[in-house]
């Protein structure tokens, strides 16, 4: 593997969720290349396991796909310093109304390593207590429950395509559903 060196990073656009940069890179043979880079503050997701073993899921509209998706409860960090466990507990409560007594890190993923640094820590939540959703003004989320087998089938049928959701469900199934 050769050497890569960033010569310059220029902010192209600053957004509410991400910042878009263009990097000037010196690559292997000393040629310069322009690479896109998306900076993201990070996120957390939750595999929330009900007493009966079914998993809490959220159904919501996603503008990028122009359709509803079925996903794990998740959301961005309030700042880079926010512990991801706190964000996971907050998002579980806000999106589903549930809180949990037990929260443990299940896995971590980088969503799009070619051009983005978004890292999502995926937590396992057990011993859930029901409560009320606390949605943002522009959020409309339906909470649904499914067995692990139902969710795995939806993954294999390409009905669930969200990366964090696929990783969280399959990691949970591999570790705890033997």
Summarize pLDDT for 57-101 with one digit per residue, the tens: 999 999 999 999 999 999 999 999 999 999 999 999 999 999 999
Report the DSSP pairing between strands 55-62 and 142-146.
antiparallel
Q: Which residues contact 128 (CB under 8 A, 6 or more apart)?
A: 48, 49, 50, 51, 56, 98, 99, 100
Measuring CA to CA, how many Å separate 1 from each of 4, 5, 23, 28, 97?
9, 13, 20, 8, 49
Query: Which alpha helices (H) appear in the chain, and where do they start and end?
Result: 84-96, 148-156, 163-176
Residue from 122, 143, 152, 123 nearest 59 by CA:
143
Measuring CA to CA, how many Å separate 54 from each of 117, 147, 158?
32, 4, 20
Tell me what pLDDT residue 53 has.
Answer: 97
137 catalytic per annotation:
yes
- pLDDT tens for each residue of the chain, 178 residues long: 568 999 999 999 999 899 999 999 999 878 899 999 999 999 999 999 999 999 999 999 999 999 999 999 999 999 999 999 999 999 999 999 999 999 999 999 999 999 999 999 999 999 999 999 988 788 899 999 999 999 999 999 999 999 999 999 999 999 999 7
Classify domain 41-176 at the CATH topology level: Nucleoside Triphosphate Pyrophosphohydrolase (3.90.79)
E strands, 99-172, in order = 99-110, 119-129, 142-146
Domain ranges of the chain: 5-39, 41-176
The catalytically annotated residue of 3, 66, 104, 137 is: 137
Whole-prediction pTM: 0.94
Report the DSSP pairing between strands 18-26 and 32-40.
antiparallel
Say how many C-beta atoms besides its own lie within 10 A of residue 116's C-beta.
16
Residue 2 token pair: 């050769």
Tell me what pLDDT residue 130 has.
Answer: 95
Residue with tokens 């996971």: 88
Tell me what pLDDT residue 63 has.
Answer: 94
Residue 137 token pair: 């003004």
């Amino acid at each position: 593997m050769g050497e890569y060196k960033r010569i310059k990073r220029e902010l192209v656009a600053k957004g509410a969720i991400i910042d878009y940069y263009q990097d000037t890179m010196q690559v292997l043979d000393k040629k310069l290349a322009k690479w896109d880079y998306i900076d993201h503050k990070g996120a957390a997701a939750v595999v929330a396991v009900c007493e009966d073993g079914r998993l809490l899921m959220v159904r919501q509209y996603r503008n990028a796909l122009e359709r509803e998706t079925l996903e794990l409860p998740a959301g961005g960090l309030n700042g880079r310093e926010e512990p991801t466990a706190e964000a996971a507990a907050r998002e579980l409560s806000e999106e589903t109304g549930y809180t949990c007594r037990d929260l443990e890190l299940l896995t971590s993923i980088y969503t799009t390593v070619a051009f983005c640094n978004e890292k999502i820590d995926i937590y396992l939540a057990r011993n859930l207590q029901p409560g009320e959703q606390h949605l943002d003004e522009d959020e409309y989320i339906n909470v649904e429950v499914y067995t692990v087998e139902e969710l795995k089938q939806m993954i294999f049928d390409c009905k669930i395509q969200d990366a964090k959701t696929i990783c969280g469900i399959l990691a949970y199934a591999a570790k705890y559903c033997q």
